[in-house]
Amino acid sequence: MAAWPLSDYEDSVAKDQHIDILRAKMECVEDPEFTKDYHDPEKRSIANALTVEFNDGSKFDEVVVEYPIGHKRRREEGIPLLVEKFKLNLAWRFPAKE
């Protein structure tokens, strides 16, 4: 999983009308079990799920991520990605020598 470049967060990207069109098609629904697990001090999961449904009614299988990269239970896996993202975004400001 590669980090998104800093340029993806700039105003020119955020103003792209295609993003608003996509947002208008999204529906966010709370899963009460996810909320319960988030508040459980033994679990503290930050679960999310995604289902993609097409105009013809077909859809991809739901994908659930209970502990995303960055969660304390995935530190060993997440730290190298964080370093990669840091280096990628630092390169926007400084030449490689620095």
d(CA 19, CA 23): 6
72 & 60 share domain? no
Same domain, residue pair 61 and 77: no
pTM of the predicted model as reported, rounded to 2 decimal places: 0.67
Please indicate, yes or no, whether residues 86 and 59 belong to a single structural domain of this protein. no
Mean pLDDT (10-residue bins), the chain, 98 residues: 70 89 93 97 95 95 94 93 87 83
User: Is-contact 29 13, C-beta < 8 A?
Assistant: no
CA 58 to chain centre: 24
Structure tokens of 94? Answer: 């400084």
Residue 80 forms part of a structural domain = yes
Residue 19 lies in a domain: no
In a domain, 2, yes or no: no
The count of domains in the chain is 2
Q: Is residue 73 part of a domain?
A: yes
Q: What is the pLDDT of residue 2?
A: 56
Instruction: Encode burial over 13-34: b for 16+ CB neighbours within 10 A, e otherwise.
Output: eeeeeeeeeeeeeeeeeeeeeb
- Whether 49 is covered by a domain: the verdict is yes
pLDDT at 8: 80
Amino acid at position 17, single letter: Q
Domain assignment of residue 86, given as a range: 68-98
The verdict on residue 23 lying in a domain is: no
